Chains A and B, each alone.
Chain A
Amino acid sequence: MGLIKEIFEKMKPTFSKGGKLGMLSSTFEAFESFVFVPDAVAKSKGSHIHDSIDLKRTMSVVIIALMPAMLFGMWNTGYQHFLSVGKDAGFVDMFFYGFLKVLPLIAVSYAVGLAIEFASAQIRGHEVNEGYLVTGMIIPLIMPVDVPLWILALSVIFAVIIGKEIFGGTGMNIWNPALLSRAFVFFAYPSKISGDKIWIAGLENAQNVADGFSGATPLSYAAANEIDKLPDTVDMFLGIIPGCIGETSTLAILLGAAILIFTGIASWKIMLSTVAGALFAGFLANMFGGTPYLEMPAWQHLIMGGFAFGAVFMATDPVTSSQTETGKWIYGFLIGIVAIIIRLFNPGFPEGMMMAILLMNTFAPLIDHCVIQSNVKKRLKRKSIL
């Protein structure tokens, strides 16, 4: 500890304001506070003690919660690939194949995003915020594995600059940056994120596709009303299906959800009400029926596509979700409903979760406003005891 401390102390003057590399002071500070908890002490008036939690801890818990989905995504990438070419492969081969496919995506996402974060922190003279540590991990997990790295980089740039930094950085943004990056790819490069061929590594340009292999996701079968072609429920729950890297396994996502709920980092109210909203919309569709997709059991929506991932990791983003406890119930419920409505009635886009969350991100301040107004009215109506 002494040695590392000494190194930092030696470098400090160079990186401080007025030093040779003063323009990198935010970057230096970020690394220093990464290695050492700052020695700042409480002011002379106010709370003299503080809880040991900080934003770094919070964000690292979310990253830990993302691990099961990421690791499963790596394995599934390999599994789906070997399945598509009709080859047998062992567990290690599958995982390693996926690992090599996914790692560059994660690396590019972090490199580009963090570079922008560091630069904008420096321009503003702020400290670097930890928010991107989570966003940077989520972005690759909600992309198809074959998305070109330059498109990924562009989408990250869009999400971080337009989605976050122009509002003032972490804590100030209106929309979930990770979803914005996905929306960017969806609208700017639709062919890279829709269709049946892009979900499996190497399938688009493959010569040697196994007979009868389609590569379509459960959602695209469902959207085509080919409910009978849906994979088995257990496969869908475990995630042995094509889809974005991290979104396929409901089981892995539930593990993450358990971590988030137990640590209290993410709101269980939002998760629960999102599920409730989806079931509600699904049951309504079941009641009216008409097409096989409308009649598909409502609960199946929960294990298809990005529903679970969105409900657990993105609807619960503390910055862009509703901030009031009552608001959270409404916000989550509406996300669930809207997601299922888009799935069922929008022919152009089989997955509704992304749009639903972005839409409700937009409305979250309005929901909060209504909740707050009712609190204000209650306060005005209160009677005084004399």
Chain B
Amino acid sequence: MLKVIKLKKGLDIKLKGEPEKIFGAAEKPLKYALKPTDFVGLTPKLVVQEGDKVKVGSPLFLDKNKPEIKFVSPVSGTISSVNRGEKRKLLSVVITSDAVEDYIKHDVGDWEKMTREQIINIILESGTFPFFIQRPYGIIANPNDIPKAVFVSCFDSSPLAVDYDFAMQYDAEYLKKGIKVLSKLTNGNVNLGISKKMLNSKIFNTEFLDEKNLVITAFAGKHPSGNVGVQINCVNPINKGDIVWTIKLQHAVMLGKLFEKGIYDASKVVVLAGSRVERPCYFRLLAGAPVSIFSNQIKKEDEKGNRIISGNVLSGSQISEDGFLGFYDDQICVIPEGNYNELFGWAKPLRMKKFSMSHSYFSWIMPDKKYDLDTNYNGSVRAFVINGQYEKVLPMNIYPVFLLKAILAGDIDKMEQLGIYEVIEEDFALCEFVCTSKIDVQKILRDGIDLMIKEMTS
């Protein structure tokens, strides 16, 4: 019997526009993009220029500090533009795709007999190494490290998320292969976290994914129980000096395809969801696909406009109407903007259209009601006043406010003692949501992690 870990803390925010479990047909996009800004802390070194021909798997840019880490094109085609921002910061490389994909073939041969080093080399060469995110810090892993464990969360508990039990049904064999690859990368365990609902899943069980060092743990509880950081904290917490690698489930599938077919196949299941989507459902897209293919799916109801988010509504990034899906994201959410003034909003007794975890409003009366939340802050920014609020939505043995204050004070020792190695932004996303003082918790945390990286490397 699997170990089931019950998490009492957390919060499920029920939003309108949940994706229906069907696959929609999207037109084939003309343009794709790879955005260096998706990779935390990356200094990219561009290796192509406008007009260059690329294949699927051709490097577009490298990590300047570790040039062996390559970032490759998801499609074959021609580089149509290289976009830069302030100080010539590289923002995106856009590729106009060919009608037929032309893949770079990698020789994976009899990979099961290969050494770890050889496997890592194939991963680096194929451009799939950026799949691996290390904890601490939530940055791309270092190929020279041997992680104490690899973690994959097999469910997403955030609002409007992909249901992987549904999405993975056609990719099960590749997933199995991907897990096999992962098991070669660590001396410790490969840990899968599944939700309690998936206990009877045909895919996520130890008989199907038969691997010696595979550990599956089930989690029961609200969001953020699906966050890999929370799962690591429960199963095998990160102490000082530890390194754990995490990989998104769909990236593990892509890894499986790489070692099965010898190519970088960037296709993944993506949901288009949110209250401003005509018909929220699943799609199969290539990484870096443009959201413009969905323009007829997005409702244009009023002058307030929409916010398109790559990733989930709690920690994703805003993208424009001609923006592209982020490298790690498998969710595109469209919700209304909140740029309006509400007359005496805070004084209204009911305010039925808004959601609050607190009982000072009445959303607790209807726990199953779905909300059409917008991007308004619902208040002004204040100092930390209320306490005990963040703790209710953070199922880790961490004191979030004290950690944040240590970050604000720039106190490296305290940050370390209070557990900064164990968390990244998404783990604190709900803290930001519930905050009475409207503090940008995730931004503070990232600044703290950046400071930590700077201190530890210098």
Chains A and B form a bound pair: yes
Q: In angstroms, how far is the closest chain B Cβ from the Cβ of A310?
A: 19
Q: Cβ of A384: which chain B residues have Cβ within 8 Å of it?
A: 148, 236-237, 239, 242
With the chains together, A36 CA to B337 CA distance in Å?
Answer: 17
Residue from A44, A46, A169, A382 within 8 A of B237 (CB atoms): A382
Known: A38-B341, A55-B437, A384-B242. A50 touches B442 (CB 8 A): no
Nearest CB of chain B from residue A126's CB, rounded to whole Å: 9
How far apart sit A40 and B356, CA to CA, in the bound complex (Å)?
18
| Complex interface residues of chain A between 264 and 301 (CB less than 8 A to chain B) | 264-265, 267
Q: In the complex, are the beta carbons of A48 and B314 less than 8 A apart?
A: yes
* Contact of B347 with A by CB under 8 A: yes
Which of A56-64, A94-102, A142-150, A178-186 has 4 or more CB atoms under 8 Å from chain B? A56-64
Q: A163: shortest Cβ distance to chain B, in Å?
A: 15
Q: Would you call B432 and A46 a contact (CB within 8 A)?
A: yes
* Cβ distance B18 to chain A, nearest Cβ, rounded Å: 15
A-B contact pairs, 30 of them (CB 8 A): A35-B344, A37-B378, A39-B339, A41-B377, A45-B316, A47-B313, A47-B432, A47-B441, A48-B309, A49-B375, A50-B438, A51-B434, A54-B346, A54-B378, A54-B382, A55-B385, A56-B346, A56-B347, A58-B360, A58-B386, A170-B383, A172-B383, A263-B359, A318-B386, A323-B387, A323-B401, A323-B402, A372-B399, A384-B237, A384-B242
Q: Which of A39, A47, A127 contacts B433 (CB 8 A)?
A: A47
Instruction: Pick the contact of B399: A37, A131, A265, A375 (CB < 8 A).
Output: A375
A interface, by DSSP: helix, strand, loop or mixed? Answer: loop
Q: Are A57 and B360 in contact (CB under 8 A)?
A: yes
Give residues in B with beta carbon < 8 Å to A.
13, 15, 148-149, 187-189, 235-237, 239, 242, 307, 309, 313-318, 333, 335, 337-347, 351, 354-361, 363, 373-388, 391, 397-399, 401-402, 417-419, 425, 429, 432-438, 440-443
- Of A54, A58, A324, A382, most buried by chain B (CB within 10 Å of CB) is A54
Contacting B at CB under 8 A, from A35-89, are 35-58, 60-61
B90 to chain A, nearest CB (A): 18
A37 to chain B: which residues have CB within 8 Å? 341-342, 345-346, 376, 378-379
A43 and B344 CA atoms in complex are apart in Å by 23
Cross-chain contact A49 with B383 (CB below 8 angstroms): no
Q: Mark A348-386, 1 if CB is under 8 A from B, else 0.
A: 000000000000000000001000100110111010111
Q: Which residues of A contact B316 (CB under 8 A)?
A: 45, 48
Task: Check if A16 is an interface residue, CB within 8 A of chain B.
Answer: no
Q: Contacts A41-B337, A376-B417, A386-B187; is A54 near B380 (CB within 8 Å)?
A: yes
On chain B, the residues within 8 Å of A168 by CB distance are 383
Distance, CA A304 to CA B453, complexed state (A): 57
| A137 shortest CB reach to chain B, Å | 16
Instruction: Say yes or no: B315 contacts A169, CB within 8 Å.
Output: no
Q: Determine the distance from Cα of A4 to Cα of B344 in the docked complex, in whole angstroms.
A: 12
Q: How far is the CB of B31 from chain A (nearest CB, A)?
A: 21
Q: Which residues from chain A contact B382 at a C-beta distance below 8 Å? A: 54-55, 127, 129-130, 170-171
Main secondary structure of the interface of B (DSSP, over half): loop
Any chain B CB within 8 A of the CB of A1? yes
Contact: B383 with A54, CB < 8 Å? no
Task: Output the nearest chain A residue to B37 by Cβ-Cβ distance.
Answer: A45
Asked if A262 lies at the interface with its beta carbon under 8 angstroms from chain B, I say yes
| B378 and A51 form a contact (CB under 8 A) | yes
Beyond known contacts A37-B379, A323-B388: 10 more, CB 8 A cutoff: A33-B380, A41-B375, A42-B338, A46-B440, A52-B345, A52-B378, A57-B379, A323-B402, A372-B402, A384-B148
Beta-carbon contact of A171 and B384 below 8 Å: yes
The distance in angstroms between the C-alpha atoms of A5 and B340, with both chains bound, is 11
Q: Which chain B residues lie closer than 8 Å to A379 at the CB level?
A: 237, 239, 397, 417, 419
Q: Which of A37, A57, A170, A386 has the most chain B CB atoms closer than 10 A to its own CB?
A: A37
A35 pairs with B343, CB closer than 8 A: yes
Give 10 nearest A-B pairs by CB, closest first: A54-B379, A171-B383, A52-B354, A37-B345, A36-B341, A44-B318, A56-B346, A37-B342, A47-B432, A41-B375
Most chain B C-beta atoms within 10 Å of own C-beta, residue among A1, A5, A42, A57: A42
Known contacts A36-B343, A48-B314, A171-B384; is-contact A262 B335 (Cβ 8 Å): no
Neighbour of A43 across the interface among B374, B380, B429, B443, CB < 8 A? B443
Q: Are A40 and B380 in contact (CB under 8 A)?
A: yes
B365 to chain A: closest CB distance in Å? 12
Decide if A319 is an interface residue (CB 8 Å cutoff). Answer: yes
Residues of A within 8 A of B333 (CB): 48
Determine the chain B residues whose CB is within 8 A of the CB of A45 once the complex forms: 316-318, 442-443
Residues of A within 8 A of B338 (CB): 39, 41-42
